[in-house]
Amino acid sequence: MLICVSAGYAQGRGQARSMVVSRYGIVASESPLASQAGAHILEKGGNAVDAAIATNAMMGVVEPMMNGIGGDLFAIVYDAKANKLYGINASGWSPKGLTIEFLQKQGMKEMPKSGVHTIDVPGAVDGWQKLADKFGRKKLSEDLGQAIRTAREGFPVPEITASYWNYAADKLRENEEAARVYLIKDHAPKTGEIFANADLAASLEAIANGGRDAFYKGEIAKKMLAGMKKHGGTMVEEDLAKFASEWVEPVSTTYKEWTVYELPPNGSGMAALEMLNIMENFPLGQKGYEFGSAKALQIEIEAKKLAYADLQKYIGDPRGQKLPMAKLLSKEWAAARAKSIDPEHANCNPTAREMEGGSDTTYLSVVDRDGNMVSLIQSNYSSFGSGIVAPGTGFVLHNRGALFVMDPNSPNALAGRKRPLHTIIPGFAQKGDVRMAFGIMGGWNQSQAHAQYIADLADYKMNIQAAVEAPRFTKLTFGGCDVMMENRFAQKTRDELTAKGHQIEVLPAFADNMGGGQAVLRDFMTGVNYGASDPRKDGAAIPEQPQN
């Protein structure tokens, strides 16, 4: 009997981690410290929105290259009692004076990738305020408490974060204040080294006491404007003071038995939905199209190229221009696009220009004991954003404006008080009595990763943790036949795809280029919550502990 049991366990399984399973809340993020901060708020009577704000604030402390109050935010909130989804777009607009003509006079022919002219108004803090006002049970000061304490006292830097920090050290040295804040004796913090940020603690404390106005109209605003003026920036007081994030209606499509939700433009979530619509025209998951097979991957890779070509051609900030969203998300459009896929040959010339992209983002998801859920993504865009830290603030200003283009005919053309096309997207999905908040970060990786994740659940019958861990491909360019694949895809599969014309770059088993994902799921029939966290990051899904 003992031998038989041992032999059964020895067969193993296709995932390294187990799902976290609880009747109480679960917080999944890139950092155990951040997940703990969110879980602690749940234990003190906060809800999923309070926990999401607490987790996000902590992420800005412990992973400052990826996110922070100098960046943008998007979120989807599920109100369990109302059975309703709410979307918030807290992405900032460009300064009124930043135009194509202005940059051309500076001798620029394309958008810079860092520096002062890539800084838009940071939207995250206004997003926090609106989320807290509409849904929160706790005051913003309580949600931010643990982040403030950790920033002031310091924390030991984990290993993956240390590698990100070291990679960006030269960029930080280009800005005196960035180097002062983020380098320790001119080096990036090493694994286990304690890092503290008193200036950031003070900025967070000001927000905790004064709300969003402390950031957009108070002393923090004055410091940001002075820092940008020093570098020749165009942002003025009015650009900050007049900014407001917006409540938006999520857009959706069906994929097999699932309904999948993303946020509308200026986010790029429509590409994930269009990709799924195209993939639905093929028998993924059936014989010959099993997970990891060349036939299945051919369809997914080619669907990515088509959806991203449409994204690039048609999508930007919807304000002031009409975007063909209904057409792009229709099943008829997808069916017509699917007919152009050749099962035997890679398309190396999709109709799109190249667009460069950063991949420094954090994603987190929360479910509370009542079934309320938050899918939240927040970003500086590139590592340490613009590279500019305004003296006395303790946070880097993002470079999201780098995603504009200087082609006046593009829907994503640079203009004053306009939001750029965004890579960062929170996801949500439902099936019957099941609701799921999910996301996978990583620049232009995100929409294609979302589609792969949903296919892993719907076509390949994985659970949420197995799907987070499953090997992925990514294509970060818009043209050509290049594609990156983790080495966990079989050599035979890669050889077959190469024969079809794909130019494969093989990456390690859990490659950073594939982004990192988090997910929480609730089965409303049983009242049980599930959490998942990607081993490609330092993070964890942590459950709330029941209180006496």
Would you say the C-alpha torsion 459, 463, 466, 467 has a positive or negative sign?
A: positive
SS (H, E, C) 2-15: HHHHHHHHHCCCCC
Q: Please tell me what DSSP assigns to residue 25.
A: -
Which amino acid is located at 461 in the chain? K
Residue written as tokens 């650009």? 239
The answer to whether 545 and 166 have CB atoms below 8 angstroms apart is no
Kindly tell me the number of DSSP H helices and DSSP E strands found in the chain.
21, 21
Taking alpha carbons only, the member of 40, 51, 20, 25 closest to residue 376 is 51
Task: Output the CA torsion 288→285→340→348 (10° steps).
Answer: -80
**361 annotated active-site:** yes
Among candidate residues 118, 234, 361, 423, the one labeled active-site is 361
Distances (CA, A) of 371 to 248, 274, 532: 21, 29, 16
Q: Structure tokens of 121? A: 């108004």
Residue written as tokens 């927040």? 378
Measure the CA–CA gap between 146 and 341, rounded to whole angstroms: 51
Question: DSSP characters for 451-499?
Answer: HHHHHHHHTT---HHHHHHS--EE--SSSSSEEEEETTS-HHHHHHHHH
Question: DSSP characters for 509-540?
Answer: TT-GGG--EEEEEEETTTTEEEEEE-TTSS-E
Q: Which residues contact 313 (CB under 8 A, 6 or more apart)?
A: 351, 352
Q: Structure tokens of 450? A: 């979302």
Measure the CA–CA gap between 164 and 183, rounded to whole angstroms: 13
Distances (CA, A) of 111 to 19, 412, 423: 43, 12, 16
Q: Please tell me what DSSP assigns to residue 405.
A: B
Taking alpha carbons only, the member of 18, 293, 34, 35 closest to residue 147 is 34
Would you say the C-alpha torsion 320, 324, 326, 329 has a positive or negative sign?
A: negative
Q: Which helix (H) or strand (E) is 28 found in, with range?
A: strand 26-29
Q: Structure tokens of 168? A: 């960006």
Catalytic residues: 361
